[in-house]
Amino acid sequence: MKIFQGPIEMSGQLDHYVKGLSALGHTVEAYASYPCYIPEGSQVVSIDNDKLIDVFNSISNKTDVFHFQYGLSFHLQKEFAFAHEHNRVRLMHFWGNEVRSEREAVRLNPYARFMNHFMEENSIHERVDAIYPIIPACIVPDFEIAAYTARIFERIYVLPLAIDLANWIPNFEVSNTPLIVHDGRDGELKGSEYVDATIERLRQAGINFEYLRLDQESPDEAKGILSRADIVIDQLLCGSYGLASVEAMALGKPVICHIREDVLYRMPGLPITSANPATLFTALHRLINDPNLRNQLGSAGRQFVEAHHSVPVIASHLGWIYSEERRVLDGIKPKVPAVIHLYGDQRIEYGLNTETARISLEAVSNKVAIAENLSKGDKVVLKPNRIFVLNGKKSKKSKGSKERTYLSFNLSEVSTEYRIVNAVFRVGSSNKSQLIPVYSVKKGWNTKQMMSKQPKTATVPYRRMRSSRKHREHFLLRCTALAKKWRNDQISNHGICLVGPHIKNPRLVIKIAAK
């Protein structure tokens, strides 16, 4: 795909997107015409507004995806209109302040009232009204920001912040006199006055530690200080973690940050200690006095960032978002309001009520994504999108008395940007000495009907699975032609039926390559 991104760089994120998407075979051009920090060596081109308009006019007809940033226009919204009129994939990426209204923030989070960092609500509405419905979908970095766009957009993609881990080497050393570092840049937004007050309370209590507050340091200086830290405090007010937390976790540091309860609920495994101005003293006291806990949280933080924030993971999620929007615009996928969380190796869908601006707390569906697998190479590993195990002894209509496992895979999970090179179906089974017959399922089915009525299967097995020479408990079946058929004709993909006992952990492993 040919992708345009701009018109502003956000803390190096566009640079990460360009590099990550380019590694996946996409052609990406990113521009910044608004004042912003662009690090040396960045792939983002700094350009004045008039020249950006010329660039846009020269490349727009050949561009497949328009990924706009911060609700900003550089061409009096004409770039939005072009993408809409020519039915191109178009998304707006929001980052926080440009859509965070004080009224909505305080409703969801009582500590937001202390932020003193809000745009006028009328300005927010004017900006958003110029975007929707021309741009029907948006991207946000977390569920805190998703809440402010829920009344407006039909589809919201929650895409975590990206970080280039090669530039962030962890330091797990534990000091006897802990160094506490607070990222006090944007202090009013982060609640720095409450951090300073808590630090003074700890000193008066006679607790031994050192404290540094980042303020005017250069990026390299700030990184050096964070690398020496034993505890890092990000923000205490807005309700989610930002880039300072991601960088600290990448360096192997335990992080304290205020995470709104609904945000935390949707992020199992997040190794951040959540604290607010009222609980910061207790949280710090515990970490100062427990070096083992600091070490455990630091190690878990690095692992979390590797799984959820690395550039390859985020880039492959972003490529999927573009493909998903293309499917919606082409009518292949229905327009259903939803919030999709790109979380590690998962794509988790939540219900969205645009009238009440409510996002469901529980997931509607949870699918294995290709992002994690692409980061490891050129393989996609799919779990079944439906599975039902039928014990032949209990069903009068089943053929024979052997256990039968019906399952299918959703091949739309594999982006059409890639071709299928080969596919292998893999299961575990205690049936080590026998072959496992695999039958094609001929008609549609769902798990609710299976005990009373099973779908027809082919009379002759498609093939029989054999145990792996290396691992006798693993059974393998090469099924490249079947996988290609399932992707090309998804409506007729009714899956397969396996005859044999104790089928475990079925997976479809697909090798892919760029077209």
What is residue 417's predicted lDDT score, i.e. its pLDDT?
A: 67
The answer as to whether 374 is a domain residue is no
Q: How far is CA 174 from the centre of its chain?
A: 31
Domain hosting residue 49, numbered range: 2-162+311-363
Q: How far is CA 40 from CA 27, 44, 180, 368, 499, in A?
A: 21, 10, 29, 36, 60
Share of the chain above pLDDT 70, in %: 92
Closest CA to 491 of 454, 443, 439, 459: 443
Q: Are residues 276 and 246 in the same domain?
A: yes
Q: Are residues 177 and 103 in the same domain?
A: no
What is residue 34's predicted lDDT score, i.e. its pLDDT?
A: 93
Q: Is the pLDDT of residue 497 over 80?
A: yes
Residue 450's pLDDT band (boundaries 50, 70, 90)?
Answer: confident
Location of structure tokens 């399952």: 407
What is residue 365's predicted lDDT score, i.e. its pLDDT?
A: 75
Q: Is the pLDDT of residue 8 over 60?
A: yes
Q: Is the pLDDT of residue 376 over 80?
A: no
Q: Are residues 6 and 155 in the same domain?
A: yes
Residue 30's pLDDT band (boundaries 50, 70, 90)?
Answer: very high
Pairing of strands 210-214, 179-183: parallel
User: Which sign does the torsion angle of CA 107, 112, 118, 124 carry?
Assistant: negative
Q: What is the DSSP-derived secondary structure letter of residue 29?
A: E
What is residue 432's predicted lDDT score, i.e. its pLDDT?
A: 62
Token reading at 111: 């500590």
Over residues 153-190, the pLDDT tens digits come to 999 999 999 999 999 999 999 898 999 999 998 878 89
* Mean per-residue pLDDT over the chain, rounded: 90
Residue 378's pLDDT band (boundaries 50, 70, 90)?
Answer: confident
Sequence-ordered list of residues with C-beta below 8 angstroms from that of 466, at least 6 positions apart, any chain: 435, 475, 476, 477
Q: Are residues 89 and 60 in the same domain?
A: yes
What is residue 375's predicted lDDT score, i.e. its pLDDT?
A: 38
The answer as to whether 70 is a domain residue is yes
Last residue in a domain, options 281, 307, 333: 307
Over residues 319-375, the pLDDT tens digits come to 999 999 999 999 988 888 999 999 998 899 999 998 888 999 988 877 655 443 343
Residue 452's pLDDT band (boundaries 50, 70, 90)?
Answer: confident
Q: Are residues 255 and 344 in the same domain?
A: no
The whole model's pTM is what?
A: 0.73
Q: Are residues 154 and 9 in the same domain?
A: yes
Share of the chain above pLDDT 90, in %: 65
Q: Are residues 246 and 390 in the same domain?
A: no
Tell me which of 467 and 458 has the higher pLDDT.
458
Over residues 34-92, the pLDDT tens digits come to 988 898 889 999 999 999 999 999 999 999 999 999 999 999 999 999 999 999 999 99
Q: Are residues 257 and 176 in the same domain?
A: yes
Q: Are residues 57 and 197 in the same domain?
A: no
Average pLDDT of the segment spanning 413-437: 80
